[in-house]
Structure 1
Amino acid sequence: MRKTICLVALTALALPVSAKDSLGVYSSWAAFRDADTPRCYAIAKPRGRNANRAFASIGTWPKREIRNQVHFRLSRAASDGSTLRVRIDTTNFDLVAQGRNAWAPDAQTDAAIVAALRSASAMRVNGGGVSDRYNLSGVATAMDAAIVGCADL
């Protein structure tokens, strides 16, 4: 079930940005609302030149009762059978990866990652040949804007 929801989330994030309403840009992060889906999300690109269309997002789908789901589009596919983790300041969380996508394994880990993001300054997704680094300046405000943006959907 969670894998299906994640695939739906991935498909929704792949839609053109022009179909979404900007809720604001907050330093390294931005927030968007898509009333047609309906969904809202905070999103950022990793630091560096080799981002290769990678991003981190925290999404909310009110009609599906999904809030603060973490998703990473990796800069490259993780090696088969590798362990992938997200490190937020000094705390590590295991991720489930499939190709160039990675998610928290469950809603409890999503909640723990989101809580860690609120007080951290750096995030790194690594393992299996992947090393994507993110600046977290503005992440808390972008996440809040996404939640508020979907409050009436």
Structure 2
Amino acid sequence: MRRLALILLLAAAPASARETIGIYKGWGAFRDPGRCYAIARPVLANGRTGGFASVGTWPAKRLRASFALRLSLPRDRETPVTLSIGERRFPLVGTDRLLWAPDAATDHALVMAMRSGRSMSVSAVDPGRRPFADTYALAGAAAAIDAATLSCVMRP
């Protein structure tokens, strides 16, 4: 539940509260009061908007490099969601649109795979039982994650 609250905060932060740390290819690194994060929009979502993938650090919550994703469409909560990075597959859990890793070990492995991967794709099924996927380019992700993490470590 704590992760859900943090993800909702990420999605709801006003743009005026953000400090840009840097832009790294398709990924941006930002700082808000109390947190820093790397974030990107999908490069392929079949015209849908509103999706994003992020890796955030919240020093006061002792969370570092924690993955969160917002789907470009609501999903059927009865079906599993899978994130693919290269040959690796990771289960995700969450609400109809907001997702995260089911545990700390998966979270860590997923972020490490992002650092060396070329792309990642999240596959889900919408409430009408139609499959869909959001695809992200990972070029710049490692640099954005590092910049965001260092920004929070240097200025908590």
Name the aligned partner's letter for residue 144 of structure 2. Answer: A
1:96-111 matched pairs, under 5 angstroms: 96-111=93-108
Aligned match of 1:144 = 146
> Is the contact between residue 7 and residue 98 of structure 2 (CA under 8 Å) also seen in structure 1?
no
Of 41, 44, 47, the match for 2:43: 47
**Which deviates more, 71-80 or 24-33?**
71-80
Structure 2 unaligned blocks of 5 or more: 126-130
**Percent identity of equivalent pairs:** 40
**Which deviates more, 84-93 or 44-53?**
44-53
1:59-138 matched pairs, under 5 angstroms: 59-128=56-125, 129-138=131-140
Cα RMSD (Å) of the superposition? 1.2
Distance apart, 1:15 and its partner CA: 1.2
TM-score calculated relative to the size of structure 2? 0.90
Q: Deviations along 1:5-62, whole A, 9 cap, x unmatched?
A: 322332233212221110100001000011x2x0000000001352321100001000
Does residue 56 (structure 1) correspond to residue 33 (structure 2)? The answer is: no
TM-score calculated relative to the size of structure 1? 0.92
Of 17, 23, 26, the match for 1:25: 23
Name the aligned partner's letter for residue 126 of structure 1. Answer: S
Measure, in 2, the Cα distance between the counterparts of 1:15 and 1:134.
22
